[in-house]
Amino acid sequence: MSIPHFIEYLQLEKKYSPNTVQAYKTDLSAFQQFIRKEYDKDDILHVNYPQIRNWVVNLVNSGITNRSVNRKVASLKAYYRFLVKSDQLQSTPLANHKSLKIKKKIQIPFSEEEITDVISSIEPDSFKSSRNITIVSMFYATGIRRAELIGIKLQDVDLENGLIKVLGKRNKERYIPLLPELVRYLRLYLEFRGAVDLKNIKDFFITEKGDKIYETLVYRIINNYFSEASNKVKKSPHILRHSFATHLLAHGANLNSVKELLGHSSLAATQVYTHNNIAELSKVYKNSHPRENQE
């Protein structure tokens, strides 16, 4: 069976994260079960498009979103592209498949005032509050993803040079400059952290028990603070990332610079943050960030 070889290819050559690899395995396994049940086939190497189309129809009828269906089909597409690339197939049965239409989600960023209100409401006078204000500021001042923040190690933060090393998607490293305000929060947090880190762990952000911080806690921190300052429906780390990009561009940052800071692989992924009223994108990060001169 070629699926194990495909999974190995994703892990070793594409260097996908364990969660991404697991998603591919789950999607392929679900398709395999469908083909076995509907067509009495154990091998999905040689299937035709009508059979795949029936699977798509079955997924849609099950009630999952078109976005989720497209993601599952994308897993299948990648698998068949691998088979063609490795000369196990001459062509992919999904060559002419068109993705299902999906409604674009409107991501509404926090306003600069809302973010200022949240940051000014947190008094960093304890381990917990200093950690929380640092996390809020880190998201807004760097635009990093939640998984990237959780993955930061102590050695990744260079306070002397004002830089942080971030490990992004597909294990791609990038360096992001740190604003003076954030550096101050980081230094203060590290002072409190020293009294909590009794396990000598290398993760930068930890819990009050000295364990590595986790996804639901990070989400809860952001959601709780912004629930007090904003009436927007979504209040998540991703909205802070969205706010970071939107505010930089609104203040004149260069689109390519924002792309690099966000860790996007293509400019198209960054362009969702642009607006028609942005006439010129010329200045970059430090000259553009609304909190650069906060002393």
| Tens place of pLDDT per residue across the chain (295 aa) | 589 999 999 998 888 888 899 999 999 999 999 999 999 988 898 899 999 999 999 999 999 999 899 999 999 999 999 999 999 999 999 999 999 988 766 678 999 999 999 999 999 999 999 999 999 999 999 999 999 999 999 999 999 999 999 998 878 899 999 999 999 999 999 999 999 988 899 999 999 999 999 999 999 999 999 999 998 888 999 999 999 999 998 888 888 888 888 988 888 777 776 643 333 333 445 666 777 666 5
Residue range(s) in the chain whose domain bears CATH number 1.10.150: 3-85
Residue range(s) in the chain whose domain bears CATH number 1.10.443.10: 112-288
Does the active-site annotation cover 273?
yes
User: Which member of 80, 189, 273, 285 is catalytic?
Assistant: 273
CB 247 within 8 A of CB 112: yes
User: Which member of 72, 146, 241, 247 is catalytic?
Assistant: 241
User: Which member of 169, 234, 251, 286 is catalytic?
Assistant: 169
Does the active-site annotation cover 146?
no
Supply the pLDDT for residue 277: 34
Does the active-site annotation cover 71?
no
Supply the pLDDT for residue 278: 39
User: Which member of 72, 77, 131, 145 is catalytic?
Assistant: 145
Q: What CATH architecture is 3-85?
A: Orthogonal Bundle (1.10)
Supply the pLDDT for residue 170: 79
Exposed (0-12), middle (13-18) or buried (19+): which is 226, by Cβ within 10 Å? buried
User: Which member of 25, 81, 238, 291 is catalytic?
Assistant: 238
Does the active-site annotation cover 53?
no
The strand pairing partners of 166, in sequence order, are 174
User: Which member of 77, 235, 247, 264 is catalytic?
Assistant: 264
Q: What CATH architecture is 112-288?
A: Orthogonal Bundle (1.10)
Supply the pLDDT for residue 66: 92
Does the active-site annotation cover 242?
no
CB 183 within 8 A of CB 173: no
